[in-house]
Structure 1
């Protein structure tokens, strides 16, 4: 669990004022309490956080790193707590906030307790104490279960991001000692898995052979939720224009073309210039309607859409259906080239078929040094593909 919220508040004041006295007064505790809290923070972080001088206590390099991350984390919490009773800023603990996150996500105390490996009364007590300190209602009971209020959802989201920020601090501090802590979690949309991301990971691991990666496949909306919650560091693949929500940032790295593919001996392979009537006469495998690729295909077929369509977001599923039938499919040129042993690209030019490909992150997200280095590698790899 992250360092005590109260200890972090003392640490922030001490780092700004260089005075134990002021830190104690600001947090309504004794000076020995501040000293003990700072000693525990130093032990837990594995670094000296302050250096003493005649003018007071000043942050070390490690202290500056933790101070910056802790300040970002607590600002997130304080913005969510702005309309709540002030007591919650003093009394809230990470254990209570983690319980709140679990209950808002599961909408059930028993399921939340099971997820956390705790007794149900413990989770209920934690959220109740947090609710009392906030002076507001966090959950409403209905015939269908618990419904989290807006205040609960905002605080749970802030707590998720604050905890992610402190995990970033742990990684930053480890880098000072030449150690690597943590992992890079990537939300991979279909195109990124076909060459770009695998090449970038392999190139990165030549310099850092043991650094762990977690690659999560999924639909755009699922990965976006994980990104916004702080569970995913970055999302790779086709960008959405315009941006679907304000709290993300999109960085275009290259463009990729949508092409029509079929099995290598498909009847249309021998046709010099297949038109919309030729294409619409065959069954199709297409991605879901919410995707940019599907919108390009639907625009092309606006006048005469195929009547026989299989929808899937799986390139493997599409490939297998196309290999065993006369179905046609629409994929990115990069993906088609990876599947060239099984599939051929038809000589069809789709209108407005270029899609921007890149990296999506949370707005205001500050990567660790390792994450920043990997993003640089993604850019270098993308430059070779464009």
Structure 2
């Protein structure tokens, strides 16, 4: 594992640029033995030589080039945020201090932040105080409700999160040189992807990389999007948003999905050739919650027919819960047709033939703008794309 020593990282980048430890030592204001020691520690952690040492200078190995690309991205993002607060922070801020800052930004309480980091409360307080002293300004506003981060503090914390995420990716790529799988891939899964896209992609990925850890996190869109932007999630799979909710993420369309009207086997409407709109209006429904693309389409159906949305609605985001409610009643359900297909194929629910021209909704991938996946991450994304193509076919 790479030690998150920012001074070692800066020394490495200086040697890359200047080709010699002597000039790098002068630029970084350290001794030449300190440069040598920093490089030695980085190469030990990286699993091999980062430089070819020649009489003409130090030149990157293939391993070193991989590390340099990731490290430049990380440090450029971090230094820009630190420079905006105070140029001094670029030289003095440490990884431990930035971890404390991130924890405090999220917890807004020194005791809770210390607990999250597994440290003593005075240690976290001291780290934040050192950052504020170097910055020459307060990074938190102390209130009766806690320590509220300033906008500058939030920007630094976000840059540090993404910089550390980039270092995690560097570790994963360096490990591949030795045939090892390091770290984990984190996928945010919205409802549809959990049942019809991800299972196939994950099964294929496990066959290709049985040692690679993959974590799938379920949740509401807003919560998953926040974790994606903080670098805690690598890719989000599910219904795309239009318009895009914020400018620092990008979306990639995989396929279009429509809605289906569902009922229990033996439901009176199941024997009808086609169910008209006026009949749909009179029935109670189980539908997705407000704020989701599926619910917006459901509401738009009745608005387009110049009719009020049915008054008897039960909101439910789980196909499993919806299935059990429908099986025990004459209520109708409305959910993604792809998501419902497994329930229909198993004979647990039936799809009604309704006189509705459902508009499609885009299903796709959401990632951070400018994000560059590792080889393993890219392979999983390629398998998700392939599973989506197979689904459409």
- With normalisation by structure 2, the TM-score equals 0.95
Distance in 2, matches of 1:250 and 1:328, equals 32
Match of 1:119 in 2: 120
Partner in structure 1 of residue 322 of structure 2: 318
After superposition, give the CA deviation of every residue in 1:151-184 in whole Å (9 maximum; x if it has no partner). 1111111111111100000000011111111121
* Corresponding residue of 1:176: 177
Of 223-232 and 339-348, deviating more is 339-348
Most deviating of 145-154 and 340-349: 340-349
Residues 262, 322 of structure 1: 8 Å contact kept? yes
Moved more, 121-130 or 347-356: 347-356
Measure how far apart 1:40 and its partner are: 1.1
Which consecutive unaligned segments of at least 5 residues does structure 1 have? Answer: none
Tell me what 2:237 maps to: 236
5 Å matches for 1:41-60?
41-60=42-61
The alignment partner of 2:371 has SS state of coil
| Deviation for aligned residue 1:350 | 3.8
1:339 maps to which residue?
A: 343
Q: Is the 8 A contact 1:296 1:351 kept in 2?
A: no
Aligned residues: 386
Moved over 3 A (4+): 349-352
Q: CA deviation at 1:316?
A: 1.5
| Structure-2 residue corresponding to 1:283 | 284
Q: How far does residue 210 in structure 1 lie from its aligned partner after superposition? A: 2.7
CA RMSD of aligned residues (A): 1.3
Cα distance change of structure 1 residues 350 and 25 upon mapping to structure 2, 3 Å threshold? farther
1:352 CA displacement = 4.7
Shift of 1:349: 4.9
Task: Name the CA distance, whole Å, in 2 between partners of 1:24 and 1:312.
Answer: 62
1:208-223 correspondence to structure 2 within 5 Å: 208-223=209-224
1:308 aligns with 2:312: yes
- TM-score normalised by structure 1 residue count: 0.97
Aligned pairs (5 A) from 1:190-209:
190-209=191-210
Q: Does 1:327 align with 2:331?
A: yes
Distance in 1 between residues matched to 2:357 and 2:92, nearest whole Å: 59
1:283, 1:79 → 2: CA distance? Answer: 55
> SS of the counterpart of 1:348?
coil
How far does the alpha carbon of each residue in 1:165-211 deviate from its partner, in whole angstroms, 9 at most, with x for none? 00000000011111111121100000001121001111121222232
Determine the C-alpha separation between the residues in 2 that align with 1:191 and 1:350: 21
1:382 to 354, 374, 388: 388
